[in-house]
Amino acid sequence: MMSSKVALSLAVLLHLGLKIQVFMDPPPECCSLSLNLRSVLFLASIVMYLSTTRIFPRRYRKLPSVAIAVVEFFCFLLAIEFGMVVFWCRFEAFMFKMLDCLVASRTSSPTLYADISGDKLVEFVLTLCAFLTFICTAIATGYVNLGAQVYDTIIEKLQGLAERVRPRPVCPAHLCQPVDEGEGSEDATEFSMRNSRTRSPSRADDEFGEQPGRRLRARSRTVNYSGFARRTGRSSSRRRN
């Protein structure tokens, strides 16, 4: 429904654009909800999942659309804040703390973590995890097929535009002469009339050629009939005698 899309868009705008937290605030010692690639990918995964989820059952769909949109807005906002603050921030803090503990247990030098660029390594691992989550969610929710359809449509549009813009080969003047539509139609009618004229005499000739044969057959039949009558007359006269 349209109310779900509007409510989800407003929830994403309030969380990502205005950075307003309604239900829970992120702990300052864990992470900050700053715009970076990994947080955007994980937020996109949450949004894709919520876009295919129905909050209201069918029997409650008879409520006014405004009431449904308000309830869905708060439900979407709660789900986004829970996923980003409770799960993602805690996961980032856990990864940074785990690498710090691993480096500290290996050596007593406190500057080794900075020397091996531990922050960059953890950020790369987190970005990779967010990307894998995004791909899995897109496949599970069917957005990969939608992206493929959009890609095919764009390619078809570009090919059609390229065919229109592509220059056509120009024929020499003595080979390709421009023909108007009226002349083309007149030529077509003349050609059809010629064909009809050439076909009609042939049929007449065939019929004329068949007529003598028919006459000969009729004459032969009459001659045979007259001969048969003469024979039968002679035989009857002999019997009388």
* pLDDT at residue number 203: 47
The predicted-structure confidence for 7-23, as pLDDT tens digits, reads as follows 888 888 887 766 666 67
* pLDDT at residue number 27: 65
Q: Which among 137, 23, 5, 141 has a CA at the least distance from the CA of 84?
A: 23
Question: What average pLDDT does the chain have?
Answer: 69
The span from the CA of 144 to the CA of 176, in Å, is: 50
The span from the CA of 13 to the CA of 7, in Å, is: 10
* 93 exposure class (CB count in 10 Å sphere: 0-12, 13-18, 19+): middle
* Higher-pLDDT residue of 97, 23: 97
* pLDDT at residue number 139: 86
| Per-domain residue ranges of the chain | 2-164
The predicted-structure confidence for 47-77, as pLDDT tens digits, reads as follows 888 888 777 777 767 777 788 888 888 888 8
